[in-house]
Structure 1
Amino acid sequence: MNKNRYWILFLTVLLSVYSACAHTMEKESMKTVIEKALEHANSQSLILAKNVAALSGRLPKSIKEGKLETSLSDWWCSGFFPGTLWYLYEYSNDKEIGKYATLLTERIKKEQYNKNTHDLGFMLYCSYGNALRLTGRKIYKSILINGAKSLSTRYNPVVGCIRSWDFNKDKWQYPVIIDNMMNLEYLMWAYKETGDERFKAISVNHANKTMENQFRTDYSCYHVISYSPETGRVMVKGTHQGYSDESAWSRGQAWALYGYSMMYRETKNEKYLVQAKCIADFILNHPRLPKDKIPYWDFDVPEIPNVLRDASAGAIIASALIEMSQFVDDNTAKRYLDVVETQIRTLSSSDYTATVGTNEGFILKHSVGYFLAGSEVDAPLTYADYYYVEALLRYKKYILNK
């Protein structure tokens, strides 16, 4: 009997030790998680870079029907992968990564004169902006300034916003999407580099008008607002990529959070930080935000929890919250960073991170581009990878190296 008791005691202790070890392995330090994730991203992105470099003039887009899908430079996401390579070059100083970053950035050069898209911030600032920051090459600055001038032609002073799309003119006279907030960092850079006040005025006016018209009382945002170009009056409030006109499309909320945090950084206008904090409260306090903090593709899909997640929204939110943690009080910063830690651990796990050599070289799995159209659904996306790597580097810089 005593022997049995001793064996039970021994097995109990052994199980406790095993559980403690398992827990320790599971909860690696954030420093270890970040370093492993960046090393993995470096290896995986090099595979994708080599594959795409062999395709003349092409840039990665996603995976379609099991094969790598690419685009030309005029696709709105063209700048994200070169930007990711520049971030990884900054991290690793890997000359091969730098070579491919340079090569693929050059493929976007002609877009500096493109006046038919509002996405030049994504296309040029993510690629050439990081290239200039890391190399100082004067030609990159010239290209960026030309691009900022092209983007500015889409601004209507009556509306007070940069026009987003030129399609669906029967439905939208002058559409402005929440994604457009992400262009403003580019124009604020152009203002600082050139001293041209118009770049700053466009950024501030666009941010103010968006704040005035694009948000609901709970600080969720509409995806699309359409204005009258003649009067500036709001004509339509709705969505294009979300579940419904009144739903909270997750990536839209992420763009809004990132955009107003960035505008506070650039202007130090307190109202932008207040707006960003209110958007953060909407997202982080939402009863349908999963425990692992990676949002469903829309917060209001009736079938939740049996719907797809959007890794891209999670990555954008994580990057924005890291920046915001630098602007707020210690308690709020801790609340934000607790969420970020969960997000980074989740995205860096095998649930979301592809094994090296798989996923056609994309880092993350399980993003959602345009669900209702069946486009890029449960697929890798270049902007998911870009903001994920940005979040890793920001965490390393602002939190680990503080």
Structure 2
Amino acid sequence: MLPLAFVCLLLLRLVVDTTATATPPPELYSPLISSKILAIAQNESDPPTYPQYTDRVAGIWQYFSPNTWTSGFFPVLQYAMNTRAELCNESDGNSWVELGRQWSTGLIPLETNNTLQHDVGFVSMPFQEEYYFNRMNQTAIDAITAFAADLDARFSPIVGCTRSWDTPDEPTWFEVIIDNMMNLELLFIGADITGNDTYRQHAISHANKTMINHIRPDGSTYHLVNYNADTGAVISQGTHQGYSNSSTWTRGQAWGIYGFSNMFNRTRDPNYIITARRLAKYFVDHIPQDGVVPWDFNAPLYPPRPADSSAATIASAGLLFLANMEKSLTPPNNTGYDIWTRHAIQILADTTALAWKPEWQSLLSNGTVNNPASPPNNLTGIVYGDYYYVKAGNDLISMGLAECHDHVASRSFGSL
């Protein structure tokens, strides 16, 4: 546990730079969101394929097989649109839940045959949402049970984590990436459904080891930690998708904010909210003055480093999650709540100004899938970027910080 003096100092520093005004961008509630998503949702392919990212010129979705780590995001986006419709009391004849179920059907075979490794957590997301929607839905129960068992089978009691990637050519390697923090919710839901508390304990163990080995003293994160599978010792700390082993890949930092906020939500362990605050503070402190979230905070400025709108929207959703956790404290941390919500709204506003693309099939452009790839995969729309954009918009409505109409936002943040 971090010393109390450090925590107090951290909270004091969070109060700095609170004079900017942030207002939810009107595009966040544009009718284009519904029409774009519906146009894709009503044209499902047979056999099923799933949009992951767009081309860089016309913004046309590129489709991939169900056995791809991102294949759950478009189905879960339908559930987010159902949440939007419920929040806004809309009844336009579109059955978003039915569309979500339809698009999830192609994922069911993965319960018994997949090569997704830890990414079964991401692919299970539409089934998780269906379970929240209808806890008696047997299809969702079966999927979550199968995927949770699959993920838990990757846990090593020696390392204390679930393995992210298999390394058959290096049997002593045990690779864990920060993204895996997002998949721990699957273990918690699996424990809720099956009564198997081992799932919950393994999720806690994984989060605790991640706190120790993925997070630097300044609150930045390593993308990848490689452990010795036989001893549990750390072999190396670095990156796979970031600029360098000592840099901070922004999407990984965003996964961490969201993941540790969720761990606090699930356990109420104060170390998790302290960790989420540290990651959040590093993220917001390192956004450039122009408000554009880069693909890596430490990548060189020249030649111009590409943005990552997906990292921005994930971080926004994570900051709103963290804000709600601040509000849930006894007594509520209203200062923290206001600071995180203001930053989340500002990131959404700046990202919208940069990347809102009415003419593209995706909602946003300027996403970076994998910049170190050859050739680099950047300047695209990305399905998970769109999902967290909609989710963050929903969260603002449910928090009373925005209204549904595309021309009204109910509150702006000035000096706090």
Same fold at TM > 0.5: yes
Structure 1 residues 60-112: Cα deviation after superposition (integer angstroms, max 9, x where no partner): 11124655311111100000010011110222265343332221111111222
* Paired position in structure 1 for 2:82: 89
Equivalent residues of 1:294, 1:313 under 8 A apart: no
Structure 1 distance, partners of 2:230, 2:311, is 34
Structure 1 distance, partners of 2:383, 2:217, is 32
* Paired position in structure 2 for 1:108: 107
Structure 2 distance, partners of 1:318, 1:305, is 27
- Matched residue type, 2:100: A
Structure 2 distance, partners of 1:48, 1:269, is 41
- Matched residue type, 1:104: W
Q: State how 1:36-47 maps to structure 2 within 5 Å.
A: 36=30, 39-47=31-39
Which structure shows the bigger proportion of residues in helix conformation? 1
Structure 1 residues 273-305: Cα deviation after superposition (integer angstroms, max 9, x where no partner): 00111111111122xx12354411000112268
Distance change in 2, residues 1:196/1:28 (3 Å)? closer
Structure 2 distance, partners of 1:140, 1:267, is 24
Structure 2 distance, partners of 1:293, 1:90, is 29
Equivalent residues of 1:48, 1:362 under 8 A apart: no
Unaligned runs of 5+ in 1: 1-26
Structure 1 distance, partners of 2:227, 2:176, is 8
Q: State how 1:2-401 maps to structure 2 within 5 Å.
A: 30=24, 34-36=28-30, 39-51=31-43, 53-64=44-55, 67-92=60-85, 94-114=93-113, 116=115, 117-124=117-124, 126-136=125-135, 137-167=137-167, 169-170=169-170, 173-286=173-286, 289-291=287-289, 293-303=291-301, 306-328=304-326, 329-349=333-353, 351-355=354-358, 358-359=359-360, 361-373=361-373, 374-400=375-401
Question: What SS does the aligned partner of 1:399 have?
Answer: coil
Distance change in 2, residues 1:399/1:290 (3 Å)? farther
TM-score (norm: length of structure 1): 0.85
Distance change in 2, residues 1:221/1:29 (3 Å)? closer
Identity among equivalent pairs (%) = 28
Structure 1 distance, partners of 2:263, 2:67, is 26
Equivalent residues of 1:132, 1:140 under 8 A apart: yes
Structure 2 distance, partners of 1:205, 1:215, is 15
Between stretches 191-200 and 226-235, larger displacement belongs to: 191-200
Shift of 1:232: 0.5
Structure 2 distance, partners of 1:375, 1:164, is 23
Between stretches 152-161 and 165-174, larger displacement belongs to: 165-174
- Matched residue type, 1:342: Q
Structure 1 distance, partners of 2:303, 2:315, is 20
Distance change in 2, residues 1:300/1:197 (3 Å)? same
Between stretches 386-395 and 88-97, larger displacement belongs to: 88-97
Shift of 1:167: 4.4
- Matched residue type, 2:96: I
Unaligned runs of 5+ in 2: 1-20, 86-90, 327-332, 403-409, 411-416
Higher RCO (C-alpha 8 Å, min separation 6): 2
Distance change in 2, residues 1:388/1:31 (3 Å)? closer
Find the structure with the greater CA-based Rg: 1
Equivalent residues of 1:62, 1:376 under 8 A apart: no
- Matched residue type, 1:43: S
* Paired position in structure 1 for 2:5: none
Equivalent residues of 2:357, 2:364 under 8 A apart: yes
Structure 1 residues 152-205: Cα deviation after superposition (integer angstroms, max 9, x where no partner): 111111010010112474498110000001111111111122221111011000
Structure 2 distance, partners of 1:109, 1:217, is 42
Shift of 1:143: 1.4
Shift of 1:41: 1.7
Structure 1 residues 213-254: Cα deviation after superposition (integer angstroms, max 9, x where no partner): 111111111111111111101111111100001101111111
Shift of 1:120: 1.1
Between stretches 379-388 and 189-198, larger displacement belongs to: 189-198
- Matched residue type, 2:388: Y
Structure 2 distance, partners of 1:172, 1:230, is 6
Question: What SS does the aligned partner of 2:229 have?
Answer: coil
Equivalent residues of 1:220, 1:253 under 8 A apart: yes
Distance change in 2, residues 1:380/1:290 (3 Å)? same
Equivalent residues of 2:167, 2:174 under 8 A apart: no
- Matched residue type, 1:344: L
Equivalent residues of 1:243, 1:249 under 8 A apart: yes
TM-score (norm: length of structure 2): 0.82
Q: State the superposition RMSD in angstroms.
A: 2.3
